[in-house]
């Protein structure tokens, strides 16, 4: 199993955003994980999104939240998040 790491940086709205790409070779197929990090007000890094082979975890969660909200509004969404 081989891996290759690549780092990209960019700045947006005076906040530091970092994207770290991790590529793994598994069963002769390359898989890519992009970790999107943002520096918080205390200057600590927080992962805000993970993109696996082009599929954003944040987008999946957004869809799940929208479905729960449609079923029962904000109270149901909060209950499901707990």
Show pLDDT as tens, one digit a residue, over the chain (82 residues).
555 555 555 444 446 888 888 888 888 898 999 999 898 888 888 999 999 999 999 999 999 999 999 999 989 988 888 8
pLDDT of 18: 85
- pTM strictly above 0.85: no
Collapse the DSSP code of 42 into the 3-class scheme (helix H, G, I; strand E, B; otherwise coil) and give the result. Answer: coil
Q: What are phi and psi of 43, to 5 degrees?
A: 70, 25
Q: What CATH number was assigned to the domain covering residues 3-81?
A: 3.10.450.710
pLDDT of 60: 92
pLDDT of 12: 46
Q: What does the block give as tokens for 56?
A: 């954003």
Please calculate the CA angle 60-46-33 and round it to the nearest 5 degrees. Answer: 50
Where exactly are the structural domains of the chain? 3-81
């Amino acid at each position: 199993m081989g891996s290759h790491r690549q780092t990209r940086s960019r700045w947006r709205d005076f906040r530091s955003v970092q994207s770290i790409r991790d590529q793994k070779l598994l069963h002769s197929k390359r898989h890519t994980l992009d970790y999107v990090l943002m520096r918080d007000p205390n200057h600590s890094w927080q992962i805000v999104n993970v993109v696996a082979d082009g599929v954003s975890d944040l987008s999946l969660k957004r869809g799940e939240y929208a479905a729960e909200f449609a079923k029962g509004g904000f109270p149901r969404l909060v209950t499901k998040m707990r």
